[in-house]
Amino acid sequence: MATNDIEYLAKHHPVYLERVNRNYWINFILLSCDSAIFTFSLAMLSQDTILPFFVSQLTQSKTLVGLVPALFFLGFYLPQLLGAYLANGRATRKWIIFGIAVAERVGILFIALVAQFALQLPPPQTLILFFTAYTLFAITNGLIGPAYADYISKAIPRRRGLFYGVMYGLGGLIGFGSSWVARYFLDRYAFPANFQTLFWVGFAASFISPFIIAAFRETPLPETSAPQPLRAFLASIPGQVRQYPQFLRYLAARALVGLGLMGNAFYALYAIQKFELSSGSLGIFTMIILLAQSALGFVWGWLGDRFGYKMVLTAAAVCLGLEAVLALTAPIAELYFIIAFLIGGVYAATNICDPNIVFEIAPPHETSRFIGIANTLIAPVLGLAPLLGGALVDLGSYPALFTAVLVISVLAWVVIRRWLVEPRRSLNSRPPQAPLGRGGL
């Protein structure tokens, strides 16, 4: 089924689409490999397992533990409007992606340096330096998002669900290996040598990606919006968003799913505490999360291509509810590995839904802007969620947190099912488009 943005390009710019299709498979392979290689590094910096446990070795505060995923989500989503502005009005995206990717590696370097000197500093100072370094990494990881997603939307004009499935599938396979590496180092060495080794290996692996990015084959866009001053760019957002009521409904549904992520950083910690598991079990948790992203990425991609991405977002809400039910009732540690699988399923679903639903709602020449708007507007919810989760544990208990997740997941399911309309079936999701030349809008 052709998506709205590709139908528009095929109608108004068939020559452009023909040129893109010539490089389809090379970009398909390069983008998939870039994601897979970077996933190896991200597995060493997992915001759900590795880094929360690192912080827990330096403090008893679960709220500070929750700050890890909070910074990850805030850093990833909040700057994306600025990332969209950087790409706004440009016919190409490749070198913007390259520059931010290099800066991203600086953040990983600083994280490794903090761990290297963890024993030479008091824990409070180590935590301050760590959170500062992690914020730098998270922000650059977010800035790259709109340009990268927009590049995918133009370089992969067909079978996007398959592409995302393959991309996350390869990432899961690479992550499988990195998780075994993480498990080995965490069990073999004492703190902080185990984390020092992990972070340095992650830093070294991360430098493969910029070379892959440099090999991307990009076809300049046939349409661009006129570059705008930042103030005008921001001021235009409310009027643009009002033209797309379906976009607002998607944001509401996505925010509820994001709020349900408040428990993700605490399932592994709770299992280690409750069942007295070794720190190496974090590697198993991470491995299962990545394998689930790999396996379910193909499933969600196929479902999205065939039936639309509303169904995939619905599946994410269901997985959140199942996580909470298992956490509240599981009598043995092995059932928590199913929770890890469900966490991976949620991430695979949202990673596939987030760009593809926006691609189908937004005008083709404004996908960077709309991706930036979407991610920036849901960032406060995603950042607040794990902090609320940590506070619920500090002030109440782990079961109180898991009960809250269950309630939120049910509410998210209802909103998605009853209120969100599948973009492909919505006559009003996209206003009529007229051809735009360079400098239009």
Q: What is the CATH number of the domain that holds 137?
A: 1.20.1250.20
268 pLDDT above the threshold of 50: yes
What is the share, in percent, of the chain residues with pLDDT greater than 90?
A: 42
393 pLDDT above the threshold of 90: yes
239 pLDDT above the threshold of 60: yes
Q: CA end-to-end span of the chain, whole Å? A: 29
Q: Is residue 433 part of a domain?
A: no
Q: Is residue 437 part of a domain?
A: no
Per-residue pLDDT band for 181 (boundaries 50, 70, 90) equals confident
> What letter would DSSP give residue 440?
B
Is there a contact between 336 and 271 (Cβ–Cβ < 8 Å)? Answer: yes
Please give the tally of structural domains in the chain. Answer: 1
Smallest Cα–Cα separation from 108: which of 130, 123, 128, 86? 130
Domain span including residue 314: 4-221+229-424
Q: Is residue 128 part of a domain?
A: yes
Q: Is residue 435 part of a domain?
A: no
Residue, of 317 and 228, whose pLDDT is higher: 317
Tokens of 154: 């133009």
Axis crossing angle, helix 14-22 with helix 4-12, rounded to the nearest 10: 110
Q: Is residue 91 part of a domain?
A: yes
Q: Is residue 132 part of a domain?
A: yes
Residue, of 95 and 165, whose pLDDT is higher: 95
Residue, of 282 and 257, whose pLDDT is higher: 257
Q: Is residue 438 part of a domain?
A: no
Smallest Cα–Cα separation from 52: which of 78, 24, 71, 25? 71
User: Which ranges in 189-280 belong to alpha helices (H)?
Assistant: 193-206, 209-214, 230-235, 237-242, 245-259, 267-275
User: Given this model, what pLDDT does residue 74 score?
Assistant: 92
Q: Is residue 179 part of a domain?
A: yes
Q: Does the model's pTM come out above 0.75?
A: yes
The string of pLDDT tens digits covering residues 113-124 is 999 999 899 999
